[in-house]
Each structure stands twice: as C-alpha cells, then as structure tokens.
Amino acid sequence: MKMLSSSFSSSSSSSKAMSDSRTTRLAAASPSPRPSPQGRGRIVPGLRKWRAAGLARNASEKKRAFNRCSLSPREKARVRGNGLCKKKFISFWLVTLILFLAMSATAETTNTLSDAEIQGRQLAQQLCNARPAENLTKTGILKFRDGKGTTTEIPVKIETVVTAANWTSIYELSPQVLPTNGVVPIKLTVLHDSANSNSYALTIIQGGDPKRRWTKDRSDFVAILNFAGDFLAADLGLEFFHWPDQKLLKKEFRRNCACMVLESTNPDLSSNPNLSSSNASLPVPYSRVVSWIDEETGGIVHAEAYDAKGELLKVFEPKSFKKVNGQWELQEMEIRNVQTGSRTRLEFDLKK
C-alpha cells in the first residue's frame, strides 16, 4: 500500500508538473487580458520590435547589396555623362544669373533718371546727330564791339565738309591788321562726332608775321579760347549738347516759335564751382546753358549761358533769316556778354 500510495503520489506529482508546464506554455502563448505582474504579457510588443528591426536590417542589406552591384561600361559612361550635363547646367545658370544682374544694374541706373532728364538726353542726342545734307561754303563779316564801344570788322569764311562718318566746320578769319605784339587766331577746325565730344584745332599767327603760324590741336585747351570776339570755339561747336547732364525743363513760345527748353549742365563746374583754368582739366567756363529749341526746325531760337556762380554771362540769338531758293537760311546771329558789355555779330553774304 505504501508503494502504491507512493507511486500514486509520484504519478500525481508528475501529472501536476506536466499540467503546470502546459499551463505555463499556454499562458506564454496567450497572455491574459487582465493586468499581469511585471514581466508577463509583454510578448506582442517584443514581437513588433523584432519585426521592425528585421525590416530595417533587410532594407539595409538590400541597399548594401545594390551599392555593391557593379555597372557595365555603358552604364558608367551614362553616369559620367549625367554628371557632365549637371556641370553644364550649373555653368549656364551662373552665366544667366550674371547677365540678369548686369541688366538689373543698367535698369536701376536708368530708373534713377527723371522723365525730364530722359527726354533731355534724347533731345540733346538728336541735336548732336543732326548734320548738313551736303558740303557748303559761306562768306561774311564778323563785327566785334568791345565794352568801350570800339568796333572791329573781320572778313570770315565758313566751310562745311560732310563725310560718311562725320562732318567738319572750318572757320577762317582774314584780319586786315595783324598786331605785332600778340597772337591772332585765323583758323578754327571743328570735327563733329555725334557719339563723342567734338575735336578742335586752332591755327594762330604770332607777332604779326603770317609765316609764324602754328596749329594747336589739344581740344580741351582750344575749346575754351575766344576765337572770334565773344565766340568761344566751344560755342561754334555747340559743345554743351555733348554734356551728359541734360534736362527738358518745359515747352513754351519764344519769338513766335513753339520751343522746347533744354538745360545743359557742365559736369566739371557743377561738381566743383571753384575750378579755374589753371587746373589740368580745362572746362568750358559755363556752369549751364539753357537753350530754346524750335520744335519744327530743331534750330536754336535763344540761348543763355551762366558762369560758375550761376549768374548770366552770355546771350545768343539769331537775328534775321533770309529765304534762298525756297528755303530759310540764317543771315545774322549775335552773341552778347552781359557782364562785360561786349557784343559780336556774324553777318552772312547770302545769294538772292
């Protein structure tokens, strides 16, 4: 009996152990929905983490496997070609950007000008571009009266030579009396260039001897010299239309003509009013010139020149016109120095 009891106990214990083991496995496989102690019912989150890690590891392995994949020579050439195209695209983009910035800077410079300044520059450029249709020669008399009332008359010849690129005005004086104690200008040549400032050359006679003549072709020096009475060389060349600062002030009638009023500002004297002829740069001694331009003909109806202090210095006016071969031509013009009281008049001999 003891043996049976002992076997039964052993068998019972063994069955209980197997039952407990089966229950443990079942519990591990199917956790209880009820809250469980620490360490139990955590298998599902663990499985999720394992599956996520596995997917990441597989993706990494596939990526490494792809990177380890060798390319054929044709594919390598295609890859290199794509890189070259990318470099060309970047270079093209940089060139386009530089051009855009340059155009923006130009537009910004233009945008800083007012409408009056833009219209003034356009008008001045049109006046510079105007040129005679053919060669022409005129003769006349230049009459100069100084501030004391003394009058001098000098014969003058004006020749105009037109070429395909530019045109030249040649003024020749024939004084009857040559002073023996000074120099006398006898010839002025003005080369007109619409794109640039004019070029000037002056021929003078020294000491009253016609053989002692020489020509000065330094334009900046010749332009400021008095050539004939109150006429500067720059006046005859209309140099002020070549200045960069131009402004259309208004439109009004002057001497029965519809006119555009153009203000030309000297860039040298406007930036430094104290500049004198002793400086290396020799500017025309006008701070600004105001011109009344005939809208129909483009001719100067009236002009006023102001000195470095802004005071009126000279006044220019055409005095009379004459109709020749059905066209009106200038017969007489005058320039007056209001500060010295002198006056110079040029009268042309026009054919009837």
Return the domain boundaries, the chain: 128-348
Q: How far apart are CA 40 and CA 28, in angstroms?
A: 8
pTM: 0.65
pLDDT exceeds 60 at position 151: yes
* 173 touches 187 (CB < 8 A): yes
Closest CA to 309 of 276, 262, 342: 276
pLDDT at 140 over 90: yes
CA distance 334 to 345: 4
Q: What is the pLDDT of residues 76-88, one digit of tens each?
A: 555 555 554 555 5
Higher pLDDT, 64 or 142: 142
Q: Which amino acid is at 342?
A: S
Does the pLDDT of residue 37 top 50, yes or no?
A: no
Q: What is the mean pLDDT of residues 18-43?
A: 45
Q: How confident is the model at residue 242 (pLDDT cuts 50, 70, 90)?
A: very high
Q: Which helix (H) or strand (E) holds 344?
A: strand 343-348
> In this structure, which CATH number among 2.50.20.10, 3.40.50.20, 3.90.550.10, 3.90.1410.10 belongs to the domain 128-348?
2.50.20.10
